[in-house]
A and B are shown apart, each in its own frame.
Chain A
Amino acid sequence: MTDLPEQTERKLGLVIDLDICVGCHACAVNCKEWNTGGHSGPLTDMSPYGDSPSGVWFNRIHTFEVNDPETGTGRTVHFPKSCLHCEDAPCVTVCPTGASYKREEDGIVLVNADICIGCKLCSWACPYGAREYDETEGVMKKCTLCVDKIYNDSLPEESRVPACVSTCPVGARSFGDLGDPDSDVSRLVEARGGFELMPEQGTRPVNRYLPPRPRKGPPPQEASGPAEDRAPRMLDHDGGDPDGAGRIARWIDRALSS
């Protein structure tokens, strides 16, 4: 119903490192802070101090455990999720009014609130659940990739990045042109095995996630290596030996005087 551009000049998007995200929600809160006064604001909150507070967020963090029944080990995954600015965005093609659209110049998917009729077809079409309906205003809202921030010449240059990116305290979020294979974000994705979310859905998302790095396994209990070989000598408990203390003191003397 609404056409996608055949191609975009750039593919602006986010790269999110699941290895170092700690799940602090700073990205989500700063996103709400910027965007509630931005292009698709306000990000309305219903029952804000009541029994079931719920509001519009462009970015949400889902936290879950992934367990390996074989080893009995598990890990906690913090998974921030926002619009992935898909190349084959089903939320755009399903839109009956042209309110949902993908920009030719940078690939950002936006909603034109003036012609959105709140039919919610886009939220049904999005396999990621990234669309946010504002019941009060009767229109659909979503991540704008901070389109009103990244080109905003009233901000200092270093601030012209999405709010979620600039606020991340651990640097788990990067931003750039994923359509340029030589861009820094593309290099990062290549080097770290960045992946698409749910590629089987055929939406060709632009955003990428970097997987957790492989963990160092627990050292074998019986292993002996250089460190283990030395351990007994350095941890020689006296076991009643009257000279045990003297021995350690002499060792410290040697270590400090050499």
Chain B
Amino acid sequence: MLGGARTLEDGRKAVPVFELMARRYLRDEHSPDAVAERVGISAATIRRIAAELAEAAFEQEIVVEQPWTDWLGRRHDRIVGRPVSMHGMRGISAHSNGFHTCRAIHLLQALLGSVDTPGGWRYKAPFPKPIPPGPKPAGVTTAPDTPLGGMPIGNPTGPEDLIVDDAGQPLRIDKAYSWEHPLAAHGLMHMVLHNAWAGDPYPVDVLMMYMANMAWNSSMNVPATIKYLTDKNPDGSYKIPKFIYADAFASETVAYADLVLPDTTYLERWDCISLLDRPISSAHGPGDAIRQPVCAPDRDVRPFQEVLIDLGARLQLPGFAHEDGTPKYPGGYPDYIVNHQRGPGIGPLAGWRGDGESFGRGEPNPDQLDRYIENGCFCAQDFPDDAQYMKPFNRAYLDYAHRMGWMPSAEPVIFQLYSETLQKFRLAARGHGAHQPPPEHRDRVAQYFDPLPFWYAPFEEAALEGGDFPIHAITQRPMHMYHSWGSQNAWLRQITSKNRLFIHDDLADALGVRDEDWIWVHGHGGKLRRRARRMRGTNPSTVWTWNAIGKRKGAWGLSQAAPEASDGFLLNHVISDLLPEREGGHRYSNSDPVTGQAAWYDLRVRIERCADQSAEGCVPAFEALDAPHPPPILQYGADVKADPCQAEGVPCREWIGNRHEYAASVEGLAEGHGGDATPKLKAAE
């Protein structure tokens, strides 16, 4: 029975989470009629979508005729899938209510039974991990010339795991794992410069950063960030005395570094896309990959991985130096990729371990990188058929994952619909236990560490209630530059080198804005003067633009006249890094209160058409950096001109791009991949 309450053997009373959920989510405030206006979707449509979800999950189940055994040893004849899948990406967690929104979506997936089933959402190896996953972050105790006792990031499971001092104040420069952002599993990179400048929680001697363009597109509030980097104390010394920065390109941040460590591009170094980090796995099985250098650097640069390994050895860190002081990885990063072991037999690459036959676990294999290169620089394996689905509770999968070292034991992964971790923090805020939040954070922790997901207005929006900022403003990365650190690339910038603020026709009509008009974009922390472009395919109350096109004049090896500087912009200029002041004058980071994730998407703006359309120029304008003198012309490949034609008698072949899908609807088209069908085309006689 899932409803009601139970009395446990020891006399305590327990309430099943289903009863708690039913009590909460059946309240009128959660009804479609109560939320329709707020979300802009009619109550009837909300009901229809809910009914469609239920119908798809429970009446259109997908069955895979594959027996499997669950963690209790019970055998099931087939796998039943609940064909409901949901698509979302970083936008959801880029709101200050993002953590609970994500939890709400996952709660729905769990209730529909669509987690890791055919047609549903599926894990990719090495996930799922136990809930909560280990390890915990290290850093409560630190000492000079002493390595940190563990990983700097991790997953706290209660107030006792926070990185705070005896008074409950933050110990880390980013204030991660403090009462301000207790579950900051990724750290708070976006607060480091501000906090270092403010000397809060402590002033720094040296700040070292790698390839996060913090003086530009990786920071909120760019003008303030530049101040943090350049501000001085009354005695003339810098607030951030020394700044070391590694980058492959002459980014905006390079200009502020006391010491620049020039990095290679990925074509000039080894890389490892590891199961220990973010691998290339599919839902069908684990996979990892390498990059190999394809050309030698033609300038004085060094892969940053090698720099770190070298530094580790020089600092005599136990992971990087033998007891006699000699470096553990004299061969640099490829040496590390092959020989580093996270645990016995487990290293950065899973393929061809040991004698070359082992996947997952095995002694380091000196030929491992050669095997990867022979196989196209990747290694992938399929799960056994009976381990493909239901992974959190599938005996065959759990044993497999444990064997691979992905899980400390083969125990099932039990979903925490009711989060014990969150509740522990809430109880601490309510005065329980040895570790309690300082008074100034008590209410906030009590409110946001709700063990069941809930909705609340994003902080900036709530704080501006009554202010005149009616429009949401967001950004997205252009597809052609999505994973590119180098959007100044000579080819990519021919595709996009300037950006506009896209506005829905209806909103543009209301504002009197035409294509290419200059507009003011007011945020609560600043304003922008840029050009607009109208469109229909966007939400009428949301404006958007391409991210990271705008560059500072003179940066990235581009000429002073580059359109990226004169005609490109970032919304970052008007996104505030701090929330409006609260009682007592404290300003929290513009982030999720649980995870510390930066709330990039909370930006609210007001837009007006500029009265004087003839005035040229963008606001804010930044002082130009020194620009190089780039080449006037590029002719890649001119030296490798191919023979004009073909080898005699070589057959060419057909290729059907989406054969798997087309085969279902096109008569006579064979199933398979692009060129799987028998080649029908022969070369001319």
Contact = CB atoms under 8 A, between A and B. Distances in A.
Interface in B27-61: 27-28, 30-32, 42, 44-45, 47-48, 50-52, 54-55, 58
B416 interface: no
B225 interface: no
A23 interface: yes
A46 B55 CA distance: 57
Most buried by A among B18, B490, B631, B656: B656
B654 interface: yes
B496 to A, nearest CB: 9
Interface of B: 1-4, 16, 18-19, 22-23, 26-28, 30-32, 42, 44-45, 47-48, 50-52, 54-55, 58, 479-480, 488, 490-495, 497, 535-537, 557-559, 561-563, 566, 630-638, 640-647, 650-659, 661-662, 665-670, 674-675, 677, 679-681, 683-684
In order of increasing CB-CB distance, the 4 nearest A-B pairs are A249-B3, A151-B646, A105-B684, A37-B637
A42 B654 CA distance: 27
A238 B601 CA distance: 34
Interface in A155-186: 157-158, 160-161, 165-166, 168, 170-177, 180, 182-185
30 contacts: A17-B657, A36-B637, A37-B636, A37-B641, A42-B638, A44-B633, A45-B633, A150-B646, A151-B650, A151-B683, A157-B679, A171-B656, A171-B661, A171-B674, A174-B658, A176-B680, A185-B654, A188-B662, A221-B44, A222-B44, A226-B55, A231-B47, A235-B31, A245-B22, A245-B23, A246-B4, A249-B2, A249-B4, A249-B16, A249-B22
B54 A48 contact: no
Contact of B26 (A24, A28, A227, A238): A238
A191 B47 contact: no
B589 to A, nearest CB: 34
B43 to A, nearest CB: 10
B668 to A, nearest CB: 5
Contacts of A23: 479
Interface in A81-135: 104-106, 112
B282 to A, nearest CB: 14
A67 B536 contact: yes
Contacts of A52: 563
Given A41-B641, A136-B635, A187-B669, A176 B647 contact: no
Contacts of B55: 226-227, 230
B655 A166 contact: yes
B567 to A, nearest CB: 10
Given A161-B655, A173-B657, A237-B28, A10 B681 contact: yes
Contacts of A166: 655, 674
A96 B16 CA distance: 85
B634 A45 contact: yes
B633 A136 contact: yes
Nearest to B492: A29
A55 B491 contact: yes
Given A158-B675, A237-B30, A238-B28, A184 B684 contact: no
B636 A42 contact: yes
Given A20-B658, A161-B653, A187-B669, A231 B630 contact: no
B642 A74 contact: no
B650 A160 contact: yes
A57 B492 CA distance: 12
Given A187-B669, A228-B47, A47 B19 contact: no
A30 B648 CA distance: 25
A237 B26 contact: yes
Interface string A21-63: 0111110110010001111011111111111111101000000
A contact residues, range? 35 or more
Contacts, number: 279
Per DSSP, are chain B's interface residues mostly helix, strand or loop, or mixed? loop
A65 B48 contact: no
Given A74-B537, A177-B681, A50 B632 contact: yes
Given A252-B2, A253-B3, A48 B658 contact: no
A222 B28 CA distance: 23
Contacts of A152: 646-647, 650
Given A171-B657, A185-B654, A227 B48 contact: yes
B495 A25 contact: yes
B4 A39 contact: no
B636 A36 contact: yes
Contacts of A51: 559, 561-563, 566
A235 B47 contact: yes
Given A105-B684, A180-B680, A237-B31, A168 B657 contact: yes
Contacts of A221: 42, 44-45
A239 interface: yes
A43 B659 CA distance: 32
B636 A49 contact: no
A234 B656 contact: no
B514 to A, nearest CB: 16
Nearest to B52: A227
A223 to B, nearest CB: 8
A74 B538 CA distance: 10
A238 B26 CA distance: 6
Contacts of A222: 44
Given A48-B634, A151-B652, A171-B661, A29 B642 contact: no
A250 interface: yes
A53 B634 CA distance: 11
B50 A234 contact: yes
